[in-house]
């Protein structure tokens, strides 16, 4: 599952190589969403610091 953002960004790069700009942007958006969801999963604990 952690490799999914890389797969989506690589697909975006592949679309760029094939000159499919809209497809590349679509893969980038999907990759960002997956990456941020994974970040949310891994940043669940409260950090005990006073800012």
Partner 1 sequence: MTGDLSRLLNALGLVLVSAVLALALTDELWFGDLPCPLCILQRAAFAAAGLGLALNLVFGPKPSHYAVTILGAAAGAAIAMRQIVLHIVPSTGSYGDPILGLHLYTWSFMIFALMIIGCAVMLLDDRQFARAEPISTRLKSLPLLALTLFTVLTLAAMVSTIALCGAGLCPDSPERYLLFE
Number of DSSP helices (H) and strands (E) in the chain, helices first: 2, 0
Give the separation between CA 24 and CA 8, rounded to whole angstroms.
9
* 32 makes contact with partner 1 (CB under 8 A): yes
Q: Does 37 bind partner 1 (CB under 8 A)?
A: no
Residue 40 binding partner 1, by CB under 8 A:
no
2 C-beta neighbours (distance < 10 Å), count: 10
Q: Which residues bind partner 1 (CB under 8 A)?
A: 1-3, 5-7, 9-10, 12-14, 16-17, 19, 21, 24-25, 28, 31-32, 35-36, 38-39, 41-43, 47-49
């Amino acid at each position: 599952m952690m490799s999914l953002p890389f797969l989506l960004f690589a697909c975006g790069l592949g679309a760029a190589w094939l000159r499919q700009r809209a497809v590349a942007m679509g893969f980038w958006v999907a990759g960002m969403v997956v990456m941020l969801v994974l970040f949310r999963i891994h940043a669940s604990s409260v950090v005990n610091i006073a800012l």
